Chains A and B, each alone.
Chain A
Amino acid sequence: MSAESPLRTAPDPARVPAPAGRGPASGREAVLAAATDGGGAGAGTPAEAVRGRAARAGARRLLWALPPVALLAVFFLYPLVLVGRQSLQPDTGGTSLRPYADVFASAGFREALWTTVWLAPAATAGCLVLGFLLALVIAFVPFPGAKAVARFVDVFLSFPSFLVTLALLFVYGQVGMANGLWTDLTGAAEGPFRFLTTPWGVLLAEITYFTPFVMRPLLAAFAQLDTAQLEAASSLGARAPRIVRRIILPEALPALAAGGSLVLVLCLNEFGIVLFTGAKGVTTLPMLIYSKAILESDYPGACVVAVVNVLLSVGLYGLYRVVSRRAGA
Chain B
Amino acid sequence: MSIRFDSVTVAYDGNVVLDSLDLTVAPGEVMALLGPSGSGKTTALRAVAGFVRPASGRVLLGERDVTDLPPHRRGIGMVVQQYALFPHMRVEDNVAFGLKARRATRAEIRQRVADALEMTGMAAYARRYPRELSGGQQQRVAIARALAVRPAVLLLDEPLSALDARLRSGMLGELARLHRELPEVSILYVTHDQIEALTLADRIAVMDKARLRACGTPRELYRAPADEFTASFVGNANLLPVTVTAGGAALGSAELQVDTAGAVAGARATLCVRPHLVGLGDGPNRLTGTVSEIQWRGSTHRLYVDVAGHPVMADLRELRNPPAHGDEVSLHFAPEDAVLLAAGVGGDER
Is the CB of B78 closer than 8 A to any CB of chain A? yes
Tell whether, in the assembled complex, residue B80 and residue A228 are in contact, meaning their CB atoms are under 8 Å apart: yes
Is the CB of B86 closer than 8 A to any CB of chain A? yes
Shortest C-beta distance, B94 to chain A (Å), equals 9
Q: Which stretch, A233-241, A265-273, A308-316, touches the partner chain B?
A: A233-241
Is the CB of A4 closer than 8 A to any CB of chain B? no
Q: Residues of B within 8 Å of A, CB-based: how many? A: 28
Tell whether, in the assembled complex, residue A237 and residue B98 are in contact, meaning their CB atoms are under 8 Å apart: yes
Tell whether, in the assembled complex, residue B72 and residue A235 are in contact, meaning their CB atoms are under 8 Å apart: yes
Q: Who on chain B is nearest to A229 by CB?
A: B84
Tell whether, in the assembled complex, residue A250 and residue B88 are in contact, meaning their CB atoms are under 8 Å apart: yes
Tell whether, in the assembled complex, residue B84 and residue A246 are in contact, meaning their CB atoms are under 8 Å apart: no
Is the CB of A29 closer than 8 A to any CB of chain B? no
Chain B residues positioned under 8 Å from A233 (CB to CB): 86, 97, 101
Shortest C-beta distance, A327 to chain B (Å), equals 11
Chain A residues positioned under 8 Å from B80 (CB to CB): 228, 231-232
Q: Who on chain A is nearest to B142 by CB?
A: A232
CA–CA, A256 and B80, complex, Å = 29
Is the CB of B49 closer than 8 A to any CB of chain A? yes
Shortest C-beta distance, B145 to chain A (Å), equals 7
Shortest C-beta distance, A104 to chain B (Å), equals 45
Is the CB of A242 closer than 8 A to any CB of chain B? yes
Apart from A226-B82, A233-B97, A235-B76: 20 A-B pairs, beta carbons within 8 A: A231-B51, A231-B71, A231-B78, A232-B78, A232-B145, A233-B86, A234-B50, A234-B70, A235-B50, A235-B72, A236-B72, A236-B97, A236-B98, A236-B101, A237-B72, A238-B98, A242-B101, A246-B86, A246-B97, A251-B88
Shortest C-beta distance, B71 to chain A (Å), equals 4
- What is the size category of the interface that chain A forms with chain B? 10 to 19
Q: What are 13 pairs between A and B in contact, CB < 8 Å?
A: A226-B84, A228-B80, A228-B84, A229-B85, A229-B86, A233-B101, A235-B77, A235-B155, A237-B102, A237-B149, A238-B72, A251-B87, A251-B88
Is the CB of B74 closer than 8 A to any CB of chain A? yes
Ordered nearest first, which 10 A-B pairs have the shortest CB separation? Answer: A236-B98, A228-B84, A237-B101, A238-B101, A232-B84, A234-B71, A235-B78, A250-B88, A234-B72, A229-B84
Chain A residues positioned under 8 Å from B70 (CB to CB): 234
Is the CB of A294 closer than 8 A to any CB of chain B? no
Is the CB of A133 closer than 8 A to any CB of chain B? no
Chain B residues positioned under 8 Å from A235 (CB to CB): 49-50, 71-72, 74, 76-78, 155
Contact with A along B192-229 (1 / 0, CB 8 A): 00000000000000000000000000000000000000
Chain A residues positioned under 8 Å from B86 (CB to CB): 229, 232-233, 246-247
Chain A residues positioned under 8 Å from B51 (CB to CB): 231
**A contact residues vs B (CB 8 Å cutoff):** 1, 226, 228-229, 231-239, 242, 246-247, 250-251
CA–CA, A242 and B74, complex, Å = 17
Is the CB of B75 closer than 8 A to any CB of chain A? yes
CA–CA, A231 and B49, complex, Å = 9
CA–CA, A226 and B86, complex, Å = 9
Q: Who on chain A is nearest to B70 by CB?
A: A234
User: Which of A228, A236, A238 counts the most chain B CB atoms within 10 A?
Assistant: A236
CA–CA, A125 and B80, complex, Å = 37
CA–CA, A226 and B70, complex, Å = 20
Tell whether, in the assembled complex, residue A231 and residue B87 are in contact, meaning their CB atoms are under 8 Å apart: no
Point out the residue from A237, A239, A242, A251 that lies within 8 Å of B75, measured CB to CB.
A237
Contact with A along B58-82 (1 / 0, CB 8 A): 0000000000001111111110101
CA–CA, A238 and B101, complex, Å = 5
Chain B residues positioned under 8 Å from A246 (CB to CB): 86, 97
Chain B residues positioned under 8 Å from A236 (CB to CB): 72, 97-98, 101, 145-146, 149
Q: Who on chain B is nearest to A231 by CB?
A: B51
Shortest C-beta distance, B85 to chain A (Å), equals 8
Shortest C-beta distance, B86 to chain A (Å), equals 6
Shortest C-beta distance, B113 to chain A (Å), equals 13
Chain B residues positioned under 8 Å from A234 (CB to CB): 50, 70-72
Q: Who on chain A is nearest to B97 by CB?
A: A236
CA–CA, A239 and B71, complex, Å = 9
Shortest C-beta distance, B260 to chain A (Å), equals 49
